[in-house]
Amino acid sequence: MKNLVEKIQSKTALVGVIGLGYVGLPLVLRFARKEFKVIGFDTDEGKIRALKKGRSYISHIPDSEIKSLNKFFEATSDMSGLSRPDAIIICVPTPLDAHREPDMTYIKNTSCEISNYMRKGQLISLESTTYPGTTREILLPEFEKTGLKVGKDFFVVFSPEREDPGNKQFPAEKVPKIVGGITGKCLELGTLLYQSVFEKVVPVSSVEIAESAKLLENIYRAVNIALVNEMKLLFDRMGINIWEVIEAAKTKPFGFQAFYPGPGLGGHCIPIDPFYLTWKAREYDFHTRFIELAGQINNYMPYYVIERLIDGLNRQGKALQKSKILVLGIAYKKDIDDARESPGIKIIKILEEKNVQKVDYYDPYIPQLIKSRQISHPIFSINFDKKTISKYDATIIVTDHSCIDYDLLLSASPLIIDTRNVYKKKYKNVVKA
């Protein structure tokens, strides 16, 4: 342990990051900027090739940032190199399966790879969002198969990622970093490592506290978004503008935090994390009714958007099945290139199931949707110009990217379904949803 402390303090510790996506790659940059040498591991050969050529595949990280890593970073898909780092940080996906239950495949496979090559003196941190008990119940037993002892020969912590891509007000290094350890020595080393790159580290008493804190953060958001989505459904029937209601309510300087309605939830955290806790709760014969109700409301929102679309088309004497629909914005939030769990994808899927004549999308940050669990076939973004837009019977604003010309859209589209309150004034071709 003393040797590892000295290495971290002197910045001679070699840091390994497994998973070079929206969490892992920014973490690589933070350590490299502090002059730690970093090895990035990923099974995606395309990412490895891009990084070796100094190219970024994440929109908010410019190529210049990758090129600046030079002597401090190397990328590889060869997991045998896991014996080299002094500290290993796991940033792999934790999706839900087709039955909305936790898919722990990536975490299990990664822990097996580490176990195959681990050595004495390594610190291992899990950052992937998961249910309470994952670190102790999945990672630790796998590592202990080596015969090494936690807290003595190797050290394990959980430190939840708190990335918010595109958030310029709160860059990741300024967001306090929670750390929980299997043992006191684990916590001490984990805290020391993260203090090297984050302005504030918050040590907690166990890995389970750290795991639960991340879930609470996102469940809090999911529940409050569900509340405001339900209010929107009611106020729409009452002829009351939910957006103006929120603006009025948030003038109160205490006791209220503004959340905004939308076409559904997207991203890897808010639509996913609540189900990790509801799944784990079953082990304790506990039914998380409040969380599941919020999930039901949020999952309904894409269908509500389609209902509003049908109403708008009917008023123009058009049938949904004979219409051409454009989905504007496929990223899960504005000004980023991440489409994970995007409500836009769900809306496309619903429209295809309803056999519309044609459905396309436009997103300046995402030129193509590849085949995945959500998408049955590749889809390409269309060109955004007046002539092209006017060919569609309706446009659904799902993601309100800042760079989109909404005046052009207003003049070109015969019907706009506005789920983001882009148009504050009333227009005859705009329907709020």
Do 248 and 189 lie in one domain? The reply is no
Query: For residue 168, what pLDDT is reported?
Result: 77
d(CA 415, CA 311): 11
Is residue 79 one of the residues assigned to a domain? yes
Is residue 352 one of the residues assigned to a domain? yes
Do 180 and 257 lie in one domain? The reply is no
Domain that holds residue 27: 2-204
d(CA 297, CA 222): 10
Q: In the 3-class helix/strand/coil scheme, how is the chain assigned residue by residue?
A: CHHHHHHHHHCCCCEEEECCCCCHHHHHHHHHHCCCCEEEECCCHHHHHHHHCCCCCCCCCCHHHHHCCHHHEEEECCHHHHHCCCEEEECCCCCECCCCCECCHHHHHHHHHHHHHCCCCEEEEECCCCCCCHHHHHHHHHHHCCCCCECCCEEEEECCCCCCCCCCCCCHHHCCEEEEECCHHHHHHHHHHHHCCCCCEEEECCHHHHHHHHHHHHHHHHHHHHHHHHHHHHHHHHCCCHHHHHHHHCCCCCCCCCCCCCCCCCCCCCCCHHHHHHHHHHCCCCCCHHHHHHHHHHHHHHHHHHHHHHHHHHHCCCCHHHCEEEEECCCCCCCCCCCCCCHHHHHHHHHHHCCCCEEEEECCCCCEECCCCCCCCCEECCCCCHHHHCCCCEEEECCCCCCCCHHHHHHHCCCEEECCCCCCCCCCCEEEC
Do 57 and 172 lie in one domain? The reply is yes
Do 352 and 286 lie in one domain? The reply is yes
Q: Which residues are catalytic?
A: 269
Do 293 and 358 lie in one domain? The reply is yes
Residue 102: other Cβ atoms inside 10 A: 20
Is residue 156 one of the residues assigned to a domain? yes
Q: Which residue has the tokens 């399966």?
A: 97
Do 248 and 155 lie in one domain? The reply is no
Is residue 189 one of the residues assigned to a domain? yes
d(CA 161, CA 181): 15
Do 199 and 297 lie in one domain? The reply is no
Residue 341: other Cβ atoms inside 10 A: 21
Do 195 and 247 lie in one domain? The reply is no
The phi and psi torsions of 155 (rounded to 5 degrees) equal -135, 140
Query: For residue 373, what pLDDT is reported?
Result: 66
Among 177, 204, 231, the domain boundary falls at 204
Do 200 and 272 lie in one domain? The reply is no
- Digit-by-digit pLDDT tens for the chain (433 residues) are 779 999 999 999 999 999 999 999 999 999 999 999 999 999 999 999 999 999 999 988 999 999 998 889 999 999 999 999 999 999 999 998 877 889 999 999 999 999 999 999 999 999 999 999 999 999 999 999 999 999 999 999 999 999 887 777 888 788 999 999 999 999 999 999 999 999 999 999 999 999 999 999 999 999 999 999 999 999 999 999 999 999 999 999 999 999 999 999 888 888 888 999 999 999 999 999 999 999 999 999 999 999 999 999 999 999 999 999 999 999 999 999 999 889 999 999 999 999 999 999 999 999 999 877 677 778 999 999 999 999 999 999 999 999 999 999 999 999 999 999 999 999 999 999 9
Give the pairing type, strands 324-328 and 394-397: parallel
Among 176, 204, 232, the domain boundary falls at 204
Do 336 and 197 lie in one domain? The reply is no
Closest CA to 363 of 398, 388, 318: 398
For 99, the token pair is 């039955």
Do 149 and 273 lie in one domain? The reply is no
Q: Based on the structure, what is the number of domains in the chain?
A: 2
Is residue 158 one of the residues assigned to a domain? yes
Is residue 234 one of the residues assigned to a domain? no
Is residue 228 one of the residues assigned to a domain? no
CATH code of 187's domain = 3.40.50.720
Among 204, 234, 262, the domain boundary falls at 204
d(CA 380, CA 362): 8
Is residue 209 one of the residues assigned to a domain? no
Do 198 and 250 lie in one domain? The reply is no
